[in-house]
Structure formats: C-alpha cells, structure tokens
Amino acid sequence: MGFYERTVLPRIVHLTCGAPHIAELRARVMQGLSGDVVEIGFGSGHNVPHYPEGVGRVLAVDPSLTGRKLAAKRLARSPVPVEFVGLDGEVLPLAVASVDAALSTFTLCTIPDVGRALTELRRVVRPGGTVHFLEHGLSPDPRVAARQRRLTPLQRRIGGGCHLDRPIRDLIVDAGFEVESLRNYHLKGPRVFGYMYEGVARPA
C-alpha cells in the first residue's frame, strides 16, 4: 500500500462519505442493530454517532491506520466500546456464530474478494442474526450500468479498488443470506456513483 492509499485516500473518503445526507442514511440502516456487532470497513468512524442503544460492543475491521486516527474524536465520545480486531474483511479473526450482527457501509465495493468477505460474515453471524448494509453498486438502468462498467477500471485505480458495478444484492444472496428488506435509489449527483443498496439480510 503506497502513500496515496495509506494517507491521502482515507482523507478523501472521510470527506466524501461524511455528508449530512449520508449520515441520515447511515442512521436509518443501523436501526435494529443490537448486541455484539462486527463492522467491516470501519474507516474514519462515520457510523459511530449512529450506533443504537441496543449495541453492546462493536468489533471494527479496517486496514487504514489513518482512518483510525481520523476516528479518534468520535471514539472518545462514543458510549459504545469499539475494539479493533482485524485489518481484512476477507479473514475475520472471530469464532463461528460469535456476533449478533454485522454492519457494512460503503465497503463491499472495495474488498478484492467480496464473495469471500461475505462468506466470512455468514460464518461469524449467529443464526437469526442480521447484516445491515448501505452500499453503492450496479444500476438497473442499462445506460448507467454501461457507464459504470466503462469507468470501473479507472475508479479502481484512483478509489482504492472501488468498483462501481457490483450487484450488491446478488452478491449477498450468493453468500448464503436472505435479504429481508431492501431499498434501492440514486443519490443526488452523477448516477454512475450513486445507485444505492440499503437493507438488512439474515443467514439463510
């Protein structure tokens, strides 16, 4: 990981993913979280202010040490303890069925082997538990999808591996989850970057 990925990119993501309208979506998708929660792609801690009262502990997974530094003030104010447990969502250092829920926001676009990461979540979330997700991905509009596919190689280079064209719902189902609720919509702005998948899934 070079200087750009290590130091510059986390700050760009911190700014772009910290907008007030995004905070509202974070708070909404996190409703119903409770118990021990593993959060992949913790980043700079934008979700911290929105953890519901029922959350007892968050086990954070993220490769960016810069992101942790940017999260310091939020962590200091958080009533929910946050423990950093790993760097890689593809290999979670957690036991089988050891957490009550999982949280992923703007993360599944960047993990190299996203299927493996989702399979890991399937392994560690207890039966009856939930996975809450807020992700951008492949649009059903053929014209938008075509542009997403054309732009993804460039986006991956400048966006830390970010894919614009991942079919998030299909990936979650293929990993052994049943999607319990799902909202799809375009964010304001360029449509190639903002087709959203917001929902909750359970191990099937």
- Range(s) of the domain holding residue 96: 3-203
The CATH number assigned to the domain holding 9 equals 3.40.50.150
Count of domains forming the chain:
1
pLDDT for the residue numbered 2: 76
- The pTM of the full predicted model, rounded to 2 decimals, is 0.95
Phi, psi of 187 (to 5 degrees): -70, 160
Pairwise CA distance, residues 188 & 185, whole Å: 10
Under the banding of pLDDT at 50, 70 and 90, the label for residue 15 is: confident
